[in-house]
Amino acid sequence: MLFILDSSLIGLDPDSEELNRAITSLLLSYQSGHHLLFMEMTHLRSLRENIEHTLSYSGKKALQTLYNKLPVYKAAIGDLAHFAIVYLPENGELLPTRQGNIWRVPLPYFCPGLLQSTILGENDRDAELYILLANQYRSKKKLYPFAVSGRPRSGGGSGVVRVLDNYLATEIAPCLCVTDSDKVHPGCGKSATVRGCEELARTEAKLVKYLMLEEREIENFLPPDLLERASPEYSAFIENLSNVAGYSDVMWNYLDIKDGIKLEWIERKDEPTKRFWNCFLENFRLKREQCMQCNIADIRSCGCSKINGLGEKVLEKSLDFIKNNPPRLTGGVFDNDSRWVDAGKLAFAFLVCPAGETARQA
């Protein structure tokens, strides 16, 4: 994440053990490639004169690196819509406050140290996708002075609310939490998982952001071009869907991409869900009436009344395809929809870090 050092830090007491520890935590997180720092050159020069004699060798090295790179950073940080401003508190504030996408964080908040940002998804591969999207965004925008650094963390499906709650209680590093909507049609209400994450993310006292996908599951969010390249079953799946009279593209967002769709699943649902999937309901019932096997015996698992999906490993195959193939085959698959670009931009803002430079001696 980008932490902008406010000009008020120039006045910090260099002999304060607490403030020295906090500023050192920020500098070391930058030098370790975990987060990005920025300060106006004239202000950084004054801050350096004030505190350099109290810093450790590592702190001085980080300060030197930052000083060298400020002109490069200044030309590129305007693309970051989410960031934090670190200031010297006058009234003993200890916790962040937030206005929109900008946090104001009192310097003592960083006394415990600052780890990498976390991407919290419903499983590890969900989180990995957003790290990949952040890198895609970086490449698309040619933000080469920066890299991406973060810790993927799994919420264990519906356990993501509990994991997020525990994270906010024990860590201060920024966290981007992303979940599916679990919606099976556009009019579905919010799930308990979504409501729980939204409530926790309302806190201003932590650097946390929550993103709910409109799609049912993360597989629905993947670009069709990527699914086609990564899943051998894709062509048959699309053909079977297209053969259902009344099927429309909007249904793609609410399909079970992994398991497919079955007559028994629709019949168990409430009336709004049945209405949304009515074309499949009618199609499957007609096929069952015409199926000789079903006329002989009531076989609930008969293939006449279901369309198989792409399998449980859809996301894994898609991510592996991108990682195992050159950019000429994978580049651009996330460029055709603003949702993918927006998700990458958000993830990049939470994961941005310096691109691995080393300090030059002045």
Instruction: Tell me the three state secondary structure of residue 294.
Output: helix
- pTM, two decimal places: 0.92
Task: Tally the C-alpha atoms within 13 A of residue 333's C-alpha that lie toward its C-beta.
Answer: 24
Residue for token digits 């508190």? 89
**118-218+325-353 adopts what CATH topology?**
Rossmann fold (3.40.50)
Strands 97-99 and 36-38: unpaired
Strands 97-99 and 118-121: unpaired
Domain extents for the chain?
2-94+101-112, 118-218+325-353, 224-308
CA 211 to chain centre: 7
Alpha-carbon distance values, 92 to 89, 105, 109, 112 (Å): 6, 12, 11, 17
pLDDT tens, position by position, for the chain (362 residues)? 999 999 999 999 999 999 999 999 999 999 999 999 999 999 999 999 999 999 999 999 999 999 999 999 988 888 899 999 999 999 889 999 999 999 999 999 999 999 999 999 999 999 999 999 999 899 888 999 999 999 999 998 889 999 999 999 999 999 999 999 999 999 999 999 999 999 999 999 999 999 999 999 999 999 999 999 999 999 999 999 999 999 999 999 999 999 999 999 999 999 999 999 999 999 999 988 888 777 666 656 677 889 999 999 999 999 999 888 887 777 778 887 889 999 999 999 999 999 975 433 33
Rounded Cα distance between 76 and 174, Å, is 21
